Structure 1
């Protein structure tokens, strides 16, 4: 994995963390729609980071 792959993994993990924080915030405010959307986006960012990290996607 090169420098670009390493940076993309870090950026995806950071994005996933921020999205999880947003999800929690919306959950505490009892806003169902944004909670679901942010949760799905967080899961996609985490999955993308893991895929790049494991080398399944160059």
Structure 2
């Protein structure tokens, strides 16, 4: 179970980086999509970490 928390944090970080790259390329649609998915992955990892 603890391994999945690390995987979700990794996915959230990659998606946040993708959102930043999309923002720099002036792609509003992909910035919003990647940012939203990063927020969901981060929230899921924090929620899964709390007992």
Asked if TM exceeds 0.5, the reply is yes
Scaled to the shorter chain, the TM-score interval is over 0.9
CA-based RMSD: 0.4
Q: Would you say 1:9 and 2:21 are equivalent positions?
A: no
State the distance in 2 between where 1:17 and 1:34 align. Answer: 15
Count of aligned residue pairs for this structure pair: 51
State the distance in 2 between where 1:8 and 1:46 align. Answer: 12
Runs of 4+ in 1 over 3 A off after TM superposition: none
State the distance in 2 between where 1:30 and 1:53 align. Answer: 35
Aligned equivalent of 1:29, options 25, 29, 33? 25
Q: TM-score, normalised by structure 1?
A: 0.86
State the distance in 1 between where 2:13 and 2:48 align. Answer: 17
